[in-house]
Chain A
């Protein structure tokens, strides 16, 4: 089955600096790549997504880049703030007619004030 690898598993960043989380996927048919943020005590929530016909997407301080040739995609958070501290999950969706996402193993991001 599909496999999504996510690195690093933990990341500590000084407030104001940038954070980058990387994911690689195995299914060349994957064409949709969302990122979810899970705050303490809550379920994950979608923060940004990208489709395979686009190389980069930006939404204020967060951006996602996709390299289909290399089968990897990354989340970039600039000017990090304490509220960015959370667990982040990448995921992908194969286009073989199913509705199931395959999630990465998660990255615990800590912003140091």
Chain B
């Protein structure tokens, strides 16, 4: 079973700050999702990556497959970035049962 650790569990920051959320997992994977969930809302997949780095707007995700570690960065954070961020590494095979979910990082950006 893939053990997934996210840190920090909770993060409160001021608008404009650079945010980093970390994800470590125990089993070799094929790809990893970063998911965003707003209060009372559904889940949006921000990134799916299997190597290197991806950027979308103010969001950057990196992954180091050998070190079993991924990070999600938010530049120039904004109150609308307040949400729960969940990493979900997927093991080889690719089926939905191969996805394991972290407990999430609760991010609050204060104006």
Q: Do A and B come from one complex?
A: no
